[in-house]
């Protein structure tokens, strides 16, 4: 397998954190959200608290 060199260690860590978050906080509720037609506000709030929304913007 060819090693991935596109992302640096910081970005790899961020990707891993987002992946784990989605596995724990989103995947179990996906079917319900599909039925409801929307994702829960709580998921968006948690994602924002963890810095997963608009990560390119400064914290202010």
Mapped onto helix, strand or coil, the DSSP state of residue 19 is helix
Mapped onto helix, strand or coil, the DSSP state of residue 46 is helix
The answer as to whether 31 is a domain residue is yes
Q: Give the total residue count for the chain.
A: 60
Task: Provide the number of structural domains found in the chain.
Answer: 1
Is residue 44 scored above 90 in pLDDT?
yes
Residue numbers of the domain that contains 44? 9-50
The answer as to whether 60 is a domain residue is no
- Write down the pTM of the prediction: 0.77
Q: What is the pLDDT of residues 5-43, one digit of tens each?
A: 777 888 888 889 999 999 999 999 999 999 999 999 999
The answer as to whether 30 is a domain residue is yes
Q: Which of 4, 1, 2 is CA-nearest to residue 12? A: 4
Mean pLDDT of the 44-53 span: 93
More confident residue, 3 or 27: 27
Could you tell me if 43 and 25 are in contact, meaning their C-beta atoms sit under 8 angstroms apart? yes
The answer as to whether 55 is a domain residue is no
């Amino acid at each position: 397998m060819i090693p991935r060199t596109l992302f640096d260690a910081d970005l790899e860590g961020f990707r891993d954190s987002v992946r784990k978050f989605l596995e724990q906080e989103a995947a179990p509720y996906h079917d319900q959200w599909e039925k409801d037609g929307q994702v829960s506000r709580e998921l968006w709030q948690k994602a924002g608290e963890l810095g997963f929304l608009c990560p390119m913007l400064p914290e202010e």
